[in-house]
Copies of this chain bind each other. A is one copy, B any other.
Amino acid sequence: MNDKLKPLREKIDAIDAQILDLLNQRARVAQDVGHVKAETGAPVFRPEREAQVLRGVAERNPGPMGNAELQTIWREIMSACRSLEKRVTVAFLGPAGTYSEQAVYQQFGTAVDVLPCSSIDEVFRATEAGTAEFGVVPVENSTEGAIGRTLDLLLHTPLTISGEVSIAVRHSLLTGSGNMEGVTAICAHAQALAQCQIWLNNNYPDIERRAVSSNAEAARMARDDHAIAAIAGERAGVRYSLGTVKANIQDDPHNRTRFAVIGSLHAGPSGEDRTSLALAAPHKAGSIYRLLGSLAQHGVSMTRFESRPARTGTWEYYFYVDVEGHVQNEAVAKALAELQSNAAFFKVLGSYPVSLT
């Protein structure tokens, strides 16, 4: 066997030597970029540029390498080169090892310094104070909807959203025994039950489904009562020592949690961007509908609309709206100017490259 493998390994070694040389060439150019940026005070991290590089790699990839694997490699290459210019510090909702930390590395690669915080408030504080250049906070969770605290804090922070990261969330069917013997009820948060309903209809149509306060609570119940199965993430399964009957049972394989990257940096246009807004309108039938008419008139697509009761202040509701495009795009700029002149409250939370996944 070694006779056949040896020449192949020598080929790989020769290719690796060339890649090593190119990576160091790339690092030297990145250092030059750092010098130019230092002269002008320009920021080291340019999310629109990194998004373009990652998209370009996938577009030009002839294979057999997979695009996702290549983008992982490039994220590390850019992270390593960037750390030669300057290492950035990123605050996130800790502890280490949460989906939030995963979101940090998905945006910045691993050559960064991380600052785990014990609350979303603290992530904002650390980033506003400059202890961290960026913060990563959850904004939307497929199982529990919008993250209210993040939305509240975004209203009044001087920080801007300069990126979004989307992380896959998976549901498993879990029991104490790891099988369904003697199980009479399947428990989970109502949204998780809804997200798995096709699979449940196909596989356990006759077992009662019961909505409980959270998936973690369902997992706790399953630990204590072997007549109960829970739908929850692997994390809850491990915490409550449950066995997995079946992993990845969500009907939509693209069930995700979305994070926002916040900081004082304003991302430039990358060619494929999104803009997040917060709005309030006088409490009058149809006023929001009329406001949003400005978007439609200028051909700007809305990708998300979320309302949230105001906790303080003059307005009963705040509306969180995501639209396609960058504030520097002409159509978006016109639509937003019009929207702003009619809204009672108007804030651009940020324009940023659409996440890759």
Contact surface of A with B, Cβ cutoff 8 Å: 1, 4-5, 8-9, 11-13, 15-20, 22-33, 36-37, 40, 42, 49, 53, 56-57, 60-66, 69-70, 72-74, 76-77, 79-81, 83-84, 94-99, 101-102, 110-111, 116-119, 234-235, 237-239, 241-242
Contacts and interface: CB of A to CB of B under 8 A. Distances in A.
**Mostly helix, strand, loop or mixed at chain A's interface?**
helix
Nearest to A32: B8
Given A5-B33, A241-B118, A24 B97 contact: no
A84 B111 contact: no
B118 A238 contact: yes
Copies of this chain assembled into the complex = 2
Contacts of A241: 118-119
B28 A12 contact: no
Given A72-B111, A111-B72, A26 B36 contact: no
A33 B37 CA distance: 44
Contacts of A60: 17, 20
B64 A238 contact: no
Contacts of A99: 97
Contact of A80 (B1, B30, B69, B94): B69
Contacts of A1: 36-37, 40, 42
A355 to B, nearest CB: 17
Given A64-B84, A97-B97, A117-B238, 11 more contacts: A1-B42, A5-B36, A18-B18, A20-B70, A24-B63, A27-B65, A69-B79, A70-B80, A73-B76, A95-B238, A116-B235
